[in-house]
């Protein structure tokens, strides 16, 4: 399916060097903010108190949040779970206040507003659990990256695996850099969004790489730059349809999904936008810099003979 067709190839690789410099600067800034500011980790990673309450009527989450914040808890997370009447409250650890005291203060404040509220469960999430989640998350990222390299190296050529790894690592670091710079809360849903972006980005890279291989087979007179430009240009319609439809769904979550999906959809939005950029100006450009050529992807047929071979063209 094609929404439109571009007749003349767009010279993307003509600007590859400039855009790669921009990518490097952006990447370095993201790393700088990660090192200097760090991530604003949620309760799942740092430890804290989780409180589950139930209302007789659908809960007003904004009212619940403002009531708790009035008690001095600024980094509180309030969201529904199960039904609209069930609410989960997550609060970070505060010095000098135990988990039981936090629960009592919150329940007292909520009952002043609505006496019908009932406490279902109170749980303390220790920092050790957070350390396990951080370790597990990093392991998941490492396994996904290794899988991407191995898959693309087998399907195409090792240069494509290296290019895709750099492009996807670029996307992940940029997302984390945004969260570090703005100090947005980094939670388990955001980690899930980062992993989803990895899969999404590699899918885009595979489409472009597959078209590059196909173009090498069909267009023997094109050089590497022309092949890459043609491959990217011919996938533009598919890229617009895929990313526009995906982004429409993500923006719906961003605007209407509430606080629980806010940062998850934000991570996906950043990842989708930079995924388009990286698959073209990072992945494809690295493939070009690594010197990919037709011989890397297309095996010579039996009818193609070496002109220096004295037996070339001989009838057997």
Q: Tell me: pLDDT of 34 over 50.
A: yes
- The pair of structure tokens assigned to 227 is 């092949």
Answer yes or no: do 234 and 180 share one domain.
Answer: yes
Sequence-distant (6+) residues with CB within 8 A of 303 are none
Answer yes or no: do 179 and 105 share one domain.
Answer: no
Higher pLDDT, 2 or 134: 134
> Residue 308's pLDDT band (boundaries 50, 70, 90)?
low
What would you report as the CA-atom Rg of the chain, rounded to the nearest whole angstrom? 26
Q: Which tens digits make up the pLDDT trace of 89-110?
A: 888 877 778 888 888 989 999 9
Answer yes or no: do 113 and 222 share one domain.
Answer: no
Answer yes or no: do 35 and 147 share one domain.
Answer: yes
Q: Which tens digits make up the pLDDT trace of 163-186?
A: 888 888 888 899 999 999 998 988
Q: Which tens digits make up the pLDDT trace of 191-214?
A: 888 888 887 888 888 888 889 889
> Residue 312's pLDDT band (boundaries 50, 70, 90)?
very low
Does residue 6 lie within any of the structural domains?
no
> Residue 147's pLDDT band (boundaries 50, 70, 90)?
confident
Report percent pLDDT > 90 for the chain: 24
Range of the domain at 119: 48-125
Q: Tell me: pLDDT of 300 over 80.
A: no
Answer yes or no: do 165 and 285 share one domain.
Answer: yes
pTM, entire model = 0.78
pLDDT of residue 129: 60
Backbone angles phi, psi at 211, to 5 degrees: -70, -35
Closest CA to 201 of 255, 121, 282: 282
Beta bridge partners of 88: 52, 79
Q: How many helices (H) and strands (E) does the chain have?
A: 12, 6
Answer yes or no: do 138 and 194 share one domain.
Answer: yes
Backbone angles phi, psi at 60, to 5 degrees: -90, 100
pLDDT of residue 143: 83
Closest CA to 261 of 201, 193, 195: 193
Answer yes or no: do 87 and 172 share one domain.
Answer: no
Give, as one character, the DSSP assignment of residue 82. S
Closest CA to 201 of 180, 228, 231, 170: 170
Q: How many domains does the chain have?
A: 2
Give, as one character, the DSSP assignment of residue 51. E
- The pair of structure tokens assigned to 185 is 């809360």
CATH of the domain at 165: 1.20.1640.10
Sequence-distant (6+) residues with CB within 8 A of 174 are 26, 27, 30, 270, 274
Residue pointed to by tokens 């003509």: 14
CATH of the domain at 100: 3.30.70.3400
Quick one: average pLDDT of 226-241? 90
pLDDT of residue 225: 92
- The pair of structure tokens assigned to 11 is 């010279």
Does residue 312 lie within any of the structural domains?
no
């Amino acid at each position: 399916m094609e929404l439109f067709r571009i007749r003349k190839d767009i010279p993307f690789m003509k600007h590859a060097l400039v855009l790669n410099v921009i990518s490097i600067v952006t990447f370095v800034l993201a790393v700088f903010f990660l090192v200097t500011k760090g991530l604003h980790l949620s309760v799942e990673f740092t430890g804290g108190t989780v409180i589950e309450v139930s209302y007789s009527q659908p809960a007003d989450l904004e009212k619940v949040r403002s009531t708790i914040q009035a008690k001095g808890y600024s980094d509180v997370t309030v969201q529904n779970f199960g039904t609209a009447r069930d609410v989960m409250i997550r609060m970070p650890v505060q010095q000098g206040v135990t988990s039981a005291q936090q629960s009592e203060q919150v329940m007292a404040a909520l009952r002043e507003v609505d006496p019908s509220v009932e406490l279902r469960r109170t749980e303390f999430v220790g920092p050790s659990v957070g350390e396990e989640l951080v370790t597990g998350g990093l392991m998941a990222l490492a396994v996904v990256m290794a899988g991407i390299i191995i898959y693309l190296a087998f399907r195409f050529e090792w240069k494509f695996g290296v290019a895709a790894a750099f492009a996807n690592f670029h996307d992940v670091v940029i997302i984390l850099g945004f969260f570090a710079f703005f100090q947005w809360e980094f939670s388990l849903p955001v980690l899930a969004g980062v992993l989803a972006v990895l899969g999404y980005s590699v899918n885009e890279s595979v489409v472009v790489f597959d078209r590059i291989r196909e173009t090498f087979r069909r267009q023997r007179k094109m050089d590497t730059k022309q092949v890459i430009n043609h491959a990217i240009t011919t996938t533009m319609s598919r890229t617009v349809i895929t990313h526009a439809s995906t982004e429409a769904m993500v923006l719906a979550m961003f605007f209407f999904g509430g606080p629980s999906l806010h940062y998850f959809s934000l991570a996906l939005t950043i990842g989708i936008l930079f995924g388009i950029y990286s698959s073209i100006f990072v992945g494809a450009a690295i493939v070009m810099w690594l010197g990919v050529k037709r011989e890397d992807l297309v095996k010579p047929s039996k009818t193609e003979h070496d002109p220096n071979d004295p037996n070339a063209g001989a009838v057997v």
